[in-house]
Structures are given as C-alpha cells and as structure tokens.
Amino acid sequence: MKQITIKKAVEVVGVGLHKGVPVKMRLEPLPADRGIVFYRTDKDVQIELKPENVVDTTMATVLGKGDVRVSTIEHLLSAVHAYGIDNLLICVDNEEIPIMDGSAIAYCALLDEAGLVALDARKKAIEIKKVIEVKDGEKFVRIEPSPKTIFDFKIEFNHPGIKEQSYRFVFSTNAYKEEIARARTFGFLSEVNYLRSVGLAKGGGLHNCIVLDESGVMNKEGLRYKEEFVRHKILDAIGDMAILGMPLIGTYVSFAGSHKLNHLLTMQVLAQADAYEIVELPDSEEERVEEYEQAYAMQRQ
C-alpha cells in the first residue's frame, strides 16, 4: 500500500469554535515521508503533527511551537486520517481550525474536492503489541492488539438527553463517512456563560454544536444519529490518535475518554518500545489481516 496525499490544493473559510475569529484554511499536497504539517501563515511558523507538540487539551487538542498555536485540530485530523492521508500541509491564518458545522463532514467534502493521489513510498502503520491503559478515576482510554482498527466507546451523562450511550466502530473510510463523520460536537447551555467568561466557545452556536438545556436537545432539527453524542466522541478519538503520525492497527476502548487522556495514551504508547511495531502495509486489507493472524497464532504456540 502506498502513501497518500491530495491531488490539488483546496481552501475554505470559517470561524473558530472557541475564539470565534474568522480563519482561512488551505490544504496542500506534500511529498512522501513528510507527514502532516500545520503552517501558521500569519506567523510563518510550521508545526509538525507529533504528540510532543501537543501543548493543551483543556477543551480541544492544541499544537504549539513557542508562543504559536493551532487549536481544535481533532475534527480535521479525524477526516484526514479516515481518508488515509499520510502527507499534508494544513495552512491557517489564525489560531484555530474552522469549526464548520461541528462535525467532520465538511472536511470530508473538502477532501473529496481535493482528490487523493498515491505516492512512490510504502505506507507505514503503528501496530499495537500490548495493552496500554491510561485512567483518571473511573474514566479510561485503552489500546489493545487487534488485526483491525476498532473504536469502542461508552459515555454516561446525568442528563435526560444523553444518559448512557455506547458505540463500536470498525474503521474504514466508507464506514467513517456513513457512521461517524456527521456527528457534531455538543455542549450544555448551563456551561456556555462560564466558557465564554474564560475566552472559550465564542464561535459556538446551534449552527455548529448540539446544545442541551435542562430537558433535552435545543436544536430544532434534532439529532443526526440516535447515538450522536458517543459517535462524536469516537470522531474526536480518531483525530487525537492520528497524532501518532501514522495509521493505527489496534482496538481503542474508552469509558468517558477525553482529549487529555487520548494525549496521555499516545505518549504512553510511544514511550514503550515493546508496545508497538512500525510495519509497512501490504496492498490489501485482507492480506494484512491474514499476516497479523498468522503472526498472532505463532506467538500463542
């Protein structure tokens, strides 16, 4: 399987979720083995997509170099990862990635417009070799060995509009577009005033966020999926785990996971040499799964 970039540059204009400021974003192709790179055009600073460049996970995942930041990257990265893109330059002229409608479907449309092209280099992936878990009280995120990439998430909220939700997503590009990409970010009306008092959620509203009051969903159109809340948590997790820098082969399991726990998980994985192996992907998914199962059977003998 070859590495992938986009065929042509594309751009979009929107606003940032937390700062509420206008931002222009342009996606450009990159050669093989360059990875995902963010470029603040207004600061002339490039920031590579690496776990060590994550500087904040309070309400979003934020990359930084010195005093230059790029915030709320997880939704875009989720779509980029779902499309199998290995090399990409993401240019923005402000601090945040545009939030669009609060999901990843607009980024999918942008990538469809750009098109994909294979490069003359083999695609590499991180194959998980042992269980790694990060906990915060009852909350946890965990990665386990598996021949397929799976995201298994559960949430519980003491709110009549959410309660308990769980979803198991077997990763593929088509399944992502059908099951995950349209799930929007969500928040509670009771928290809005506080968030805005600390400089966050200034660009949020019913047009790009599911908002819940005391009784339920305030958005007139309702939900896009029955389990839209937990599906969005999977969307976020896919974007956060993409910070590993290459496709993930393993099962991600979480109860009430967060950007912070996802970041700590990526750091824990890379800190343990026996936790993963970097492998070149064969030309077909079936061939890769067969190779994995053969290797796993030999380990058990």
Residue 83 has pLDDT above 60, yes or no: yes
233-266 per-position pLDDT tens digit: 999 999 999 999 999 999 999 999 999 999 999 9
With a cut of 90, say whether residue 82 has pLDDT above it: yes
Q: pLDDT grade, residue 292 (50/70/90)?
A: very low
- Which pLDDT band holds residue 197 (cuts at 50, 70, 90)? confident
pTM for the structure as a whole: 0.92
Does residue 81 carry a catalytic annotation? no
Consult the annotation and say whether 240 binds a ligand: no
Burial group, residue 90, by CB count within 10 angstroms (0-12, 13-18, 19+): buried
* Strand bridging mode 36-40 / 88-92: parallel
Residue tagged active-site, from 18, 81, 159, 259: 259
Q: Report the share of the chain in percent with pLDDT over 90.
A: 84
Cα–Cα distance for residue pair 55/69, rounded to 1 Å: 8
> Is 291 a residue whose pLDDT tops 60?
no
User: Is residue 159 marked as binding?
Assistant: no
Query: Does position 97 have pLDDT exceeding 90, yes or no?
Result: yes
86 annotated as a binding-site residue:
no
Please give the Cα distance from 231 to 236 (Å, whole number): 9
Question: What domains can be seen in the chain, in order of their start residue?
Answer: 2-123 (3.30.230.20), 125-299 (3.30.1700.10)
Pair of tokens at residue 130: 């042992």
Task: Give residue-wise pLDDT tens across range 127-170.
Answer: 999 999 999 999 999 999 999 999 999 999 999 999 999 999 99
Angstrom distance (rounded) from CA 51 to CA 84: 19
Helix axes 105-114, 74-82, angle to 10 degrees: 50
CA distances in angstroms from 99 to 76, 102, 201, 212, 246, listed in the order given = 9, 5, 11, 19, 24
